[in-house]
Chains A and B, each alone.
Chain A
Amino acid sequence: MALQVKREEFGDAVVLGVEGSVDIYSSPELRGELKLALDKQAPRIVIDLAGVSFIDSSGLATLIEGLQKVKVYSGNLVLCELTQTVLGVFQLANLDHIFTIKETRESALAN
Chain B
Amino acid sequence: MRLASDVAYLGPLRTMVRESCSLVGFDSAAGEEIVLAVQEGAANVIRHCYGGCSDNPIDMWILFGENELTIELVDYGTFVDPSQIKSRKLEEVRPGGLGVHLMQKVMDEVNFEQNPAGGTTLTLRKRVPAADPQTGGS
A-side interface residues toward B, CB under 8 Å?
1, 21, 23-25, 54, 56-58, 60-62, 64-65, 67-68, 84-85, 88-89, 92-95, 98
Q: B93, A64: Cβ atoms under 8 Å?
A: yes
Residues of A within 8 A of B8 (CB): 25
B95 at the A/B interface (Cβ < 8 Å)? Answer: yes
Q: How far, in angstroms, from A58 to B7 measured CA to CA in the complex?
A: 12
Residues of B within 8 A of A84 (CB): 29
Q: How far, in angstroms, from A101 to B82 measured CA to CA in the complex?
A: 34
Residues of A within 8 A of B98 (CB): 57, 60-61, 93
Q: With a 10 A CB-CB cut-off, give which of B14, B39, B101, B106 has the most chain A CB atoms.
A: B39
B-side interface residues toward A, CB under 8 Å?
7-8, 10-11, 14, 29, 32-33, 35-36, 39-40, 43, 46-47, 90-91, 93-96, 98-99, 101-102, 105-106
Q: Name B's interface SS.
A: helix
Q: A59: shortest Cβ distance to chain B, in Å?
A: 10
Q: A98, B93: Cβ atoms under 8 Å?
A: yes
Residues of B within 8 A of A21 (CB): 11, 14
Q: B39, A23: Cβ atoms under 8 Å?
A: yes
Q: B75: shortest Cβ distance to chain A, in Å?
A: 16
A56 partner, pick from B39, B94, B101, beta carbons under 8 A: B39
Q: A85, B102: Cβ atoms under 8 Å?
A: no
Q: B79: shortest Cβ distance to chain A, in Å?
A: 21
Q: How far, in angstroms, from A95 to B105 measured CA to CA in the complex?
A: 14
Please judge, given known A-B contacts A57-B99, A61-B96, A84-B29, whether A25 and B7 are in contact too, CB under 8 Å.
yes
A23 partner, pick from B7, B96, B101, B102, beta carbons under 8 A: B7
Q: A57, B93: Cβ atoms under 8 Å?
A: no
Q: How far, in angstroms, from A28 to B17 measured CA to CA in the complex?
A: 24
Closest B residue to A1 by beta carbon equals B11
Closest B residue to A20 by beta carbon equals B11
Q: B10, A92: Cβ atoms under 8 Å?
A: no
Q: B85: shortest Cβ distance to chain A, in Å?
A: 13
